[in-house]
Amino acid sequence: MAEIEGLYTALLRTKSPGRHERLRAELTRAAEHLAALAVIPGQGQTASHVARRRSRRERRSALAERGAAWIIKRYGQNAH
């Protein structure tokens, strides 16, 4: 997660178009890696199952997965 935060901060501050593209590619790679690590079994559960209490680890994993998905969507290969 710290790698993603650092890459995102660097991406926001860079002025060089070449560096911007490299950082964007690195950020996408890091986000995809985080998303793969954060996969939660049973994601396709119904709303009645979502209401159950989740552990802190499960909540953090879900947040990391959502954050990684947002980064991939925003800065992914096909985004402009």
- pLDDT tens digits for range 55-67: 888 888 888 888 8
Can you give the pTM of this predicted structure? 0.51
List of the chain residues with pLDDT < 50: 44-50
Nearest to 7 by CA among 35, 21, 26: 26
Q: Which amino acid is at 5?
A: E
- Residue 64 confidence (pLDDT): 85
